[in-house]
Structure 1
């Protein structure tokens, strides 16, 4: 467990982007952008960049010898902002908590994350609480922009030069909107596992903000019939915005509770929820989960009671997914967490509860096997994928798939 805790506290060694294969993409734009950054940092080489597949771009860290001396200007940001900075983001205005009064525009500042959540917004004096250095950048907003104008600030407050993680800060605006998308590698793998084809009827049950939905549509060359659901209109509006940016027209979006997405009325339409039984060729259940696979984890506020609550929601969603799935149809289940209860034990529950569901290999098998002694046999463990630091003789895993986030994927077929 200590090894896992250490791994979760660290930042992945690379940034992954999904490429929209419906649009034109030239990797030269990215390399030229990184070359402008290396001049700013005073080094001769750019990070390694390559296409893992035609729809997956990898950008590695700056070399070990790249570093910047700290300065005497400290800006405090909230912990979620600090995490984003370590993953290669700029500092956006809502995340800033404290800024010295003496700071000037375009001045270099050091950015620290507030680990205890005790820093008061607008603090002028040095913060004495527990904090972590997350990088250095150039200040783009002054105090009155951030704290004194009576409205929620927006935009980039600090243009990051170098995060402490040494991941390059890549602004997606170097390509037109919808051409590339920042996405964790295991989340991209989920799309490869479902492997959507033109003409198939697909249900994406918990689709917001639509990152996986757009991938499924792009894999089908915008020719599948996809329905995306999420509980609220606020969430589905995000999906629709994402689809529009990606140039996708084959997806219909509905604000609907996926736990109740089925009906026994055989005359109901498949074009909108609730759906008749046995309606879809493939279903993606990217379930609400505890999210404990995200990296780096600087703090953890998930309570035992919260942890126990997720499995009940996941089970209800499974029941609905199986009802609307056709016989011989494919169901892919995924979470971005590391708990046994939401992963291996959930798969074991499905196999016991639903004899008509058969576990099949979640190919391409790029993550490690499931954990031992938590409900699955070795034969079953090797069919699922767990992304994490574990070593297991059942399957060797390439380093790039061990160094992203904690994630889990399983694939089922409905046999009757």
Structure 2
């Protein structure tokens, strides 16, 4: 766990990325003027004549940068306290939703401009009326949309936007996919989009997404194949499978079949065939994506972390089970892509080293397009192998330089294998 104690890594994880990433649905039309019009309206609210820069880095990926440095708002002294997860979302450009509000002064009125603070230790008691004296972080400014009676006093779980954020401290624009018709764009972290590019789904391929909910990567694979691949998406519960189906419906995808099934048991010699649903026969799929359960320690900004070393160390066991099943159902010559949104060595370089030793039929190949940094040194992979994987994080390595836009993402890891005879 030494990487978690690295000072540079800790500081990086506390910060929000400096841009917002949209995945563009290639199956539908996209009009960038919608985004420009929305930003122009925001610029008037913020009293600036400039708007954030945005550009495509690929046809299906758009990057939106921060507001210029000149855009600032003075604090009002009227503090709304939110939980740490809500605070992190605000720093990424979200509004404050009612369940995240912990404290609100009694003298606030609808429409008041308020300062949003995150409770960094989780000590603020819900319904606080006075100024919070615990450890807190200013995360943005917005307009109050709900009163105390709506948030705390009616005996039911509140819902809806409690504070309309106008400027996060990170200066990221407050924008999401709802400015477009459903299914045209999707907020998605850049390395997650890169993961889809590495899979490179093609028409008529049989593809398995082993841990697919909520379906963001699944729908990307479908869109990349022009909705002409045969994609099977698995996750453990009926609720998660329903979420995958919902994502496919929203994105206009028809090439995906979702099942509620435990992927640690997805291969069986007794299977009736790939079209009969899980479990599947060995050597069934041209490509397999394993973006499995992980400790999630690459998420940014990470304002609070309640993971214990024991919890972090437990993920490798299920990841190994999933990898073993992935190898079984993958065809000879097929591609397996393994990814995580965490920074630990055990779940990343260590998992690749374990897989190469455990399964002689796996050959590590370049996870192209290579946009992230190499794997960490002296963590189970030699220099040649380190260059084949991608690690997204703050590290700098002489083996490969990384453009700033890819270094300032979330913590993420991608490896690709080919199954050989």
TM-score range normalised by the length of the shorter chain: over 0.9
Secondary structure of 1:276 counterpart: coil
Query: Which of 72, 75, 92 pairs up with 1:70?
Result: 75
User: Which residue in the other structure is 1:354 paired with?
Assistant: 359
Query: Which of 106, 110, 114 pairs up with 2:115?
Result: 110
Secondary structure of 1:248 counterpart: coil
Query: Which of 226, 230, 247 pairs up with 1:221?
Result: 226
Q: What do residues 214-267 of structure 1 show as CA deviations (whole Å, max 9, x unaligned)? A: 100110111111011111112112111111110111101111100001101264
- State the alpha-carbon separation in 1 of the partners of residues 227 and 58 from structure 2: 19
Secondary structure of 2:85 counterpart: helix
User: Which residue in the other structure is 1:209 paired with?
Assistant: 214
Q: What do residues 343-372 of structure 1 show as CA deviations (whole Å, max 9, x unaligned)? A: 001100000000000000000000000001
Query: Which of 390, 398, 407 pairs up with 1:393?
Result: 398
User: Which residue in the other structure is 1:319 paired with?
Assistant: 324
- State the alpha-carbon separation in 2 of the partners of residues 352 and 304 from structure 1: 25
- State the alpha-carbon separation in 2 of the partners of residues 270 and 258 from structure 1: 16
Query: Which of 164, 172, 176 pairs up with 1:159?
Result: 164
User: Which residue in the other structure is 2:192 paired with?
Assistant: 187
Residues 200 and 224 of structure 1 are in contact (CA less than 8 Å); yes or no, is this contact kept in structure 2? yes
Residue 153 (structure 1) shift: 1.3
User: Which residue in the other structure is 1:83 paired with?
Assistant: 88
User: Which residue in the other structure is 1:119 paired with?
Assistant: 124
Query: Does 2:296 correspond to 1:288?
Result: no
| Structure 2 residue ranges without an equivalent (≥5) | 1-5
Residues 269 and 282 of structure 2 are in contact (CA less than 8 Å); yes or no, is this contact kept in structure 1? yes
User: Which residue in the other structure is 1:331 paired with?
Assistant: 336
Secondary structure of 1:252 counterpart: strand
User: Which residue in the other structure is 1:173 paired with?
Assistant: 178
- State the alpha-carbon separation in 1 of the partners of residues 212 and 322 from structure 2: 13
Residue 201 (structure 1) shift: 0.5
Residue 268 (structure 1) shift: 3.3
- State the alpha-carbon separation in 2 of the partners of residues 115 and 146 from structure 1: 21
Q: What do residues 324-350 of structure 1 show as CA deviations (whole Å, max 9, x unaligned)? A: 000000000000001110000110000
User: Which residue in the other structure is 1:403 paired with?
Assistant: 408
User: Which residue in the other structure is 1:383 paired with?
Assistant: 388
Secondary structure of 1:262 counterpart: coil
Residues 270 and 279 of structure 1 are in contact (CA less than 8 Å); yes or no, is this contact kept in structure 2? no
Aligned length: 416
- State the alpha-carbon separation in 2 of the partners of residues 147 and 402 from structure 1: 41
Query: Which of 27, 33, 36 pairs up with 2:32?
Result: 27
Secondary structure of 2:323 counterpart: helix
User: Which residue in the other structure is 1:136 paired with?
Assistant: 141
- State the alpha-carbon separation in 2 of the partners of residues 271 and 191 from structure 1: 26
Residues 208 and 236 of structure 1 are in contact (CA less than 8 Å); yes or no, is this contact kept in structure 2? yes
Residues 340 and 413 of structure 2 are in contact (CA less than 8 Å); yes or no, is this contact kept in structure 1? yes
Residues 366 and 397 of structure 1 are in contact (CA less than 8 Å); yes or no, is this contact kept in structure 2? yes
Query: Which of 343, 346, 349 pairs up with 1:344?
Result: 349
- State the alpha-carbon separation in 2 of the partners of residues 143 and 177 from structure 1: 33
Residues 270 and 276 of structure 1 are in contact (CA less than 8 Å); yes or no, is this contact kept in structure 2? no
- State the alpha-carbon separation in 1 of the partners of residues 233 and 162 from structure 2: 34
Q: What do residues 84-109 of structure 1 show as CA deviations (whole Å, max 9, x unaligned)? A: 00001011111111111111111101
- State the alpha-carbon separation in 2 of the partners of residues 367 and 268 from structure 1: 38
User: Which residue in the other structure is 2:258 paired with?
Assistant: 253
Q: 1:269 to 1:388 in 2, by over 3 A?
A: closer
Give the RMSD, CA atoms, in angstroms. Answer: 0.9
- State the alpha-carbon separation in 1 of the partners of residues 306 and 278 from structure 2: 35
Query: Which of 95, 100, 114 pairs up with 1:95?
Result: 100
Residues 311 and 341 of structure 1 are in contact (CA less than 8 Å); yes or no, is this contact kept in structure 2? yes
Residue 14 (structure 1) shift: 0.4
Map 1:290-309 → 2, pairs under 5 A: 290-309=295-314
Secondary structure of 1:237 counterpart: helix
